[in-house]
Amino acid sequence: MKGAMPILQPASLQAEDLRGVWMVFFATACVIAAFVYALIFYSLLRWRDRGQTKMPPQFKQNVPLEITGVVIPLLIVIGLFYVTYVREVSNDALHANPYATVDVKAFRWSWTFSYPGRNVSITGTPQSPPELVLPANKLTQVNLYSADIDHSFWIPAFLFKRDALPGFPNHFDLTPNKIGVYPGNCSEFCGLDHALMTFTVRVVPAADFERWLSRRATAQCCHGERAPLGAPVEPRASARQNAAIVGLRCHPERSISPLAKCGVEGRPSGARLARMSRAAP
């Protein structure tokens, strides 16, 4: 799994932007540190005790020096603020036509990742953390919700963290640009199993992403794997017949063809199909 030193190898376009801000801060801090240490060592060497008994010149104030000492730090802070503000505004802007959309819902103590319009929803548990699959080099818009209390969605490799607050959805764009698997977790202490509130992010080529979505949708739709529209309605029916019923629910046209499309072999009898159709909403 990647992401050990994400500041050196960020894995999204937005993170590369933020790394630029970090580099500006780091370089500024280095220059200031070098200046301060130079003054300290100069003073230590130049004014060290050589056994003189005479006091050095004493003065109470030096107005030009004091003004310089206020103005220079102020200019540095304003410059850093400007760099941060410009990058954050551009990073927070939402793209009008994202390639993909993901609804992320935090809850005590795991996550649900849903792909609106694609019939795919993945819910994790503390024992079985979910996986968020994203297309590489494509913009994904994330809608972040909380089902209960405050959580925080954090992907270190993307240098990205955003709070999940109940009643206040957050929206942001991510454009992963390095294929790989990255760790993610909740970074807001939210209770007993907070430490287990982890997930992984798998970044794959866009074509693989589309294939994964189709496979996952078919599995969920027709084979009862967290069927999005409810559990099978025929308790006494076989697994194959229940799959057919779920298939009917997934495909509102309620024809025979979706069953074949879903890979359900054979056809139920006319009477059974009619009963299934009545049972499906």
Enumerate binding residues for Cu ion (CB under 5 A).
Answer: 151, 186, 190, 197
Taking the least distance from each CB to Cu ion, the nearer of 166 and 180 is: 166
Taking the least distance from each CB to Cu ion, the nearer of 74 and 195 is: 195
Tell me how far, at minimum, the Cβ of 237 lies from Cu ion, in Å: 40
β-pairing, 100-107 with 110-115? antiparallel
Asked if 175 and 94 count as a contact pair (C-beta separation under 8 A), the reply is no
Tell me how far, at minimum, the Cβ of 153 lies from Cu ion, in Å: 9
Nearest to 198 by CA among 175, 181, 178, 174: 181
Taking the least distance from each CB to Cu ion, the nearer of 10 and 183 is: 183
Taking the least distance from each CB to Cu ion, the nearer of 190 and 259 is: 190
Taking the least distance from each CB to Cu ion, the nearer of 179 and 196 is: 196
Tell me how far, at minimum, the Cβ of 149 lies from Cu ion, in Å: 8
Tell me how far, at minimum, the Cβ of 30 lies from Cu ion, in Å: 36
Tell me how far, at minimum, the Cβ of 141 lies from Cu ion, in Å: 22
Taking the least distance from each CB to Cu ion, the nearer of 124 and 258 is: 124
Asked if 160 and 120 count as a contact pair (C-beta separation under 8 A), the reply is no
Tell me how far, at minimum, the Cβ of 106 lies from Cu ion, in Å: 6
- DSSP secondary structure, the chain, as one string: ---SSTTTS--BHHHHHHHHHHHHHHHHHHHHHHHHHHHHHHHHHHT---S--SPPP--S--HHHHHHHHHHHHHHHHHHHHHHHHHHHHHHPPPSS-SEEEEEEEETTEEEEEETTTTEEEE--SSS--EEEEETTS-EEEEEEESSS-EEEEEGGGTEEEEEBTTB-EEEEE-B-S-EEEEEEE-S--STTGGG-EEEEEEE-HHHHHHHHHHHHHHHHHS-TT-TT-S-S-TTS-HHHHHHHHHHHHSTT--SHHHHHTT--S---HHHHHHHHHH--
Taking the least distance from each CB to Cu ion, the nearer of 151 and 216 is: 151
Tell me how far, at minimum, the Cβ of 197 lies from Cu ion, in Å: 5
